[in-house]
Structure 1
């Protein structure tokens, strides 16, 4: 199957290129870049020299529709809302890695994303691509709103307990930390080496654009409005996200009961790994892979449960989950093209 990537010069786009190069059923035949069309891909990313010598294409909806079965959109937020409808109207299936179609309420976009929303019909039609939770909907979808990186780790860590009713949803505190690649490739003072090296910074307290995305899904799963306390931190590493989540249990539970619940909930989902009691995951253990690893600390003294979830932000938090969704949409083996071991150390 022929696929294209729009926005191929960002970190999400180049990770799609890396993973698609090994996919058994999908062939990447076009990489589109508005800002650098006409350049050789290897000129933008020298590590691809001698491997992928193709030229970056300009956006042409008719050509994309004629030559491709599916298009990944890895463009910045605010771009996909105008491009994706053009492709869908031409019968092309799409997977959008930006946040343009994640939120159902169009009124939230000016507040949280600082741009106008997509057409409301497209917001309502978009299938949220959290692969392990919405597999059946993804299989039937025309286009996917790929989840954000922080929401992926947070939601996979919380949904089983919330769905079972074991936690009080009004007590959720999420302490999240990300590597610098989560900010994208565009240069900025906040991600300058001198600003991030040997430094730990909190940012967007109570104002991160992923807050309404997380609350939307948790409220849907819990069938009641859920509000979260969400703090984000930038740590001096390239890749990785760790979400440490604190919540009050509705009643006392043994740690093994919680672990058993997660094993049962994620049975048959190859990319979620549950740690045994007393063992907690680290970001290095999922580096470069599509895994989400989850561990628990059950504080019997306070009745509070601590959940730790880690992912690679540009794989399971972006490109890897997008490819996982493509696999589901085509009824392929869900792990196709994603059977790579974490890079360690």
Structure 2
């Protein structure tokens, strides 16, 4: 299948980074040539993740753009927010292609980014250059680019659920409300009181109410699709499970439509995009049905009594919401079939 491209992963000891490793090990056109961690440089990655013993024998590299340039063609930056904005300019200057999994290049306004993320924004010219990698919607913009901003996990599930109906004018954008739930892996591997077992077990809570950093990302894309400013309500919840996101979005219909009509609309919109699966009439998806996979499953219910539509969309937050979508974007960037290396079936039960 030709010469493999060489990939480096910055942030290899985070959950997104180790999920990149899991998928890229199976990718026929990619070779992992550098696993990088600023905090664990020099140690075997198996020290952090014993399940990789004898599978990935590399020692973790330090962050050194010159070293990475000598070892890689493309870099995945699976770093905390505020870190990529300093690293990515160096990688691009070294001639590397970059797929950034942080939020540092998603928002097109540096002022808005600083307001919501509380970090200094990336250089304006790179924010403008970055292509937003929601593959099923903007995939045609990705071929041959040097910098992709991978969408957030919540925005991926929310936007894939809403965009076809919004683009068709079948829902009123002023009425959109999204209620979203995620597993605890979305908070990363670092220690935090809210993620202790005794805090989250047998518990269910809303967090960052009206203040979640993914809200302006969702509004930015919905506004682009609608051709006018869209302001919406988005509430995130934490549930005691490891993986998965379920988004329930509500919106008023602009005119009567049936479930069957919405199913046809969505199947037509996502035709040729194999990672979005539309459920048949009367069926809605569950997080377990996409666990460990790059799928987004979507179901609908229209309510003639209220004139509203309910959309249920589910993803695995670490795959379609992070590493899997990043690899899908790499495939599109390189002109490969977007499913390459990603055709694993979901894990069930």
TM-score by length of 2: 0.98
| d(CA) in 2 for partners of 1:73, 1:126 | 14
CA contact (8 A) 2:167 2:226 kept: yes
| d(CA) in 2 for partners of 1:95, 1:208 | 23
Q: CA deviation at 1:91?
A: 1.4
Segment of structure 1 superposing worse, 311-320 or 107-116:
107-116
Match in the other structure for 2:256: 252
Q: CA deviation at 1:140?
A: 3.0
Moved over 3 A (4+): none
- Encode CA deviations 1:292-319: one digit per residue, 9 max, x unaligned: 0000011011110000000000000000
Select the residue among 313, 317, 336 that pairs with 1:332.
Answer: 336
Match in the other structure for 1:91: 95
Q: CA deviation at 1:68?
A: 1.0
Match in the other structure for 1:59: 63
Give 1:179-190 correspondences, 5 Å limit: 179-190=183-194
Match in the other structure for 1:293: 297
Report the 3-state secondary structure (helix = DSSP H, G, I; strand = E; otherwise coil) of the residue aligned with 1:186. Answer: coil
1:145 and 2:149 matched: yes
- Encode CA deviations 1:15-56: one digit per residue, 9 max, x unaligned: 000000100000001001001101100011001111111100
Give 1:97-116 correspondences, 5 Å limit: 97-116=101-120
Match in the other structure for 2:228: 224
| d(CA) in 2 for partners of 1:126, 1:336 | 23
CA contact (8 A) 2:276 2:297 kept: yes
Match in the other structure for 2:28: 24
Q: CA deviation at 1:67?
A: 2.0
Q: CA deviation at 1:136?
A: 1.3
Match in the other structure for 1:127: 131
Report the 3-state secondary structure (helix = DSSP H, G, I; strand = E; otherwise coil) of the residue aligned with 2:266. Answer: helix
TM-score by length of 1: 0.99
1:174 and 2:178 matched: yes
| d(CA) in 2 for partners of 1:213, 1:30 | 31
Match in the other structure for 2:274: 270
| d(CA) in 2 for partners of 1:140, 1:158 | 28
Report the 3-state secondary structure (helix = DSSP H, G, I; strand = E; otherwise coil) of the residue aligned with 1:343. Answer: coil
CA contact (8 A) 2:144 2:334 kept: no
- Encode CA deviations 1:183-207: one digit per residue, 9 max, x unaligned: 0000100000000011101100000
1:315 and 2:319 matched: yes
- Encode CA deviations 1:77-123: one digit per residue, 9 max, x unaligned: 10000100111112110000000000000101221101110001111
Gap runs ≥5 in structure 2: none
| d(CA) in 2 for partners of 1:179, 1:208 | 16
| d(CA) in 2 for partners of 1:306, 1:65 | 48
Give 1:65-80 correspondences, 5 Å limit: 65-80=69-84
CA contact (8 A) 2:144 2:335 kept: no
| d(CA) in 1 for partners of 2:63, 2:259 | 52
Give the CA RMSD over aligned residues. Answer: 0.6
